[in-house]
């Protein structure tokens, strides 16, 4: 169930993120995030009301801490996404499984086993085969998504160990509210001291195109964030994080369907490696569970 939720969330996110570049032509990052929050929070509240899932947070302090960590990662990712292709920005963000594995061992004393380590390693290699980053054109901006990957991975660890009792709606609301508040402050800053990039663009009169694109992004994000939060609540972080590599697979497919961008043989080989890594991780966790029951 957790793997299926992660796959569905990745398919949705990789689709809507293809349009952030279009948003960057209309307004800056912080204005986009403010409006995205204004659209997303009411949608989440309506969904929670219909599903009967409105309830107070179990631990507000831990929920706020987890939301802040994930929000930092996502804001860094979106900052890069405004100028980099989805696949290239995803290269660093999806170093998150490596951070999850490392933090699982160092902080939470979890054991993922040799096969699990191998699965994560080849999954990352498969992602690089798929993305094929140009080493000669690397810049400081190219490394921003790797910082996003660290914070995102850490936040997903906290989802499992700090917020397992929170509802998916509460987890999603926490992220959108924190991002919205940070974005509101930053929008005021860049409006007073403006720049000419997606990250530093000041307030601009919202165009109908900007509003529709942002509403579309918010609607998809609400669904995807809720699904992935539920996946991390019910599944092992090491397993769920590997299945999130499917984002890269879906990103390639959407890029072809939306923009006609083709995928070469090496990239398809990388997709195969990514899928294999997910299967190996699932097998590893099943074997561990069977051993635990036997013992």
Residue 139's pLDDT band, with cuts at 50, 70 and 90, is: low
Residue 216's pLDDT band, with cuts at 50, 70 and 90, is: very high
What's the distance, CA 32 to chain centroid?
Answer: 17
Distance CA 126, CA 120 (A): 10
pLDDT at 246 over 90: no
pLDDT at 134 over 70: no
Which tokens belong to 294?
């036997």
Query: Cα angle at 216 between 239 and 197, to 5 degrees?
Result: 90
Percent of the chain surpassing pLDDT 90: 25
Q: Residue 231: what pLDDT?
A: 84
Query: Which DSSP symbol is given to 194?
Result: -
90 vs 240, more confident: 240
**pLDDT tens digits, residue range 80-94?**
776 666 766 666 676
Residue 202's pLDDT band, with cuts at 50, 70 and 90, is: very high
pLDDT at 293 over 60: no
Query: Cα angle at 74 between 72 and 75, to 5 degrees?
Result: 65
Q: Phi-psi bin for 195: left (phi > 0), alpha (psi -120 to 50), beta?
A: beta
Distance CA 288, CA 274 (A): 21
How far CA 81 is from CA of 77, 95, 119, 217, 242, in Å, comes to 6, 16, 27, 13, 21
pLDDT at 142 over 70: no
55 CB-contact burial (10 Å; exposed 0-12 / middle 13-18 / buried 19+): exposed
What's the distance, CA 24 to chain centroid?
Answer: 19
Pick from 11-15, 113-117, 245-249 the range whose average pLDDT is largest.
11-15
CA-wise closest residue to 26 among 255, 213, 200: 213
Q: How much is the pTM?
A: 0.79
For 222, phi then psi, to 5°, come to -60, -45
pLDDT at 262 over 70: no
The single residue listed with the structure tokens 């165009």 is 207
For residues 190-206, average pLDDT: 90
Cβ neighbors of 185 (< 8 A, separation 6 or more) are none
Q: Residue 87: what pLDDT?
A: 65
**Quick check: 115 and 283 in contact, CB under 8 A?**
yes
105 vs 235, more confident: 235
Q: Residue 137: what pLDDT?
A: 64
pLDDT at 124 over 80: no
Distance CA 111, CA 287 (A): 13
pLDDT at 292 over 80: no
Strands (E), the chain: none
pLDDT at 178 over 70: yes
């Amino acid at each position: 169930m957790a793997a299926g939720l992660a796959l569905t969330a990745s398919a949705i996110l990789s689709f809507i993120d293809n349009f952030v570049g279009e948003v960057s032509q209309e307004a800056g990052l912080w204005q986009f995030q403010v409006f995205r929050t204004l659209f997303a929070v009411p949608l989440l509240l309506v969904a929670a009301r219909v599903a009967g899932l409105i309830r107070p947070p179990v631990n507000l302090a831990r929920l706020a801490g987890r939301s802040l960590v994930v929000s930092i990662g996502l804001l860094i990712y979106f900052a890069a996404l405004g100028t980099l292709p989805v696949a290239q920005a995803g290269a660093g963000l999806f170093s998150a499984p490596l951070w999850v594995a490392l933090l699982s061992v160092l902080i939470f004393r979890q054991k993922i086993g040799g096969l699990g380590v191998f699965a994560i390693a080849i999954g990352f290699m498969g992602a690089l085969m798929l993305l094929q980053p140009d080493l000669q054109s690397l810049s400081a901006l190219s490394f921003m998504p790797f910082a996003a990957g660290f914070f995102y991975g850490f936040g997903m660890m906290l989802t499992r160990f700090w917020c397992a009792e929170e509802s998916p709606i509460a987890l999603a609301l926490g992220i959108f509210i924190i991002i919205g508040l940070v974005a509101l402050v930053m929008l005021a800053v860049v409006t007073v001291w403006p720049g000419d990039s997606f990250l530093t663009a000041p307030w601009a009169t919202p165009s109908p195109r900007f509003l529709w694109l942002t509403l579309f992004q918010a609607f998809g994000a609400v669904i995807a964030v809720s699904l992935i939060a539920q996946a991390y609540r019910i599944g092992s972080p090491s397993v769920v994080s590997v299945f999130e590599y499917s984002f890269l697979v879906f990103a390639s497919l959407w890029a072809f369907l939306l923009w006609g961008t083709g995928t070469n043989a090496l990239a398809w080989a990388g997709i195969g490696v990514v899928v294999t890594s997910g299967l190996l991780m699932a097998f590893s966790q099943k074997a561990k569970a069977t051993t635990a029951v036997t013992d």
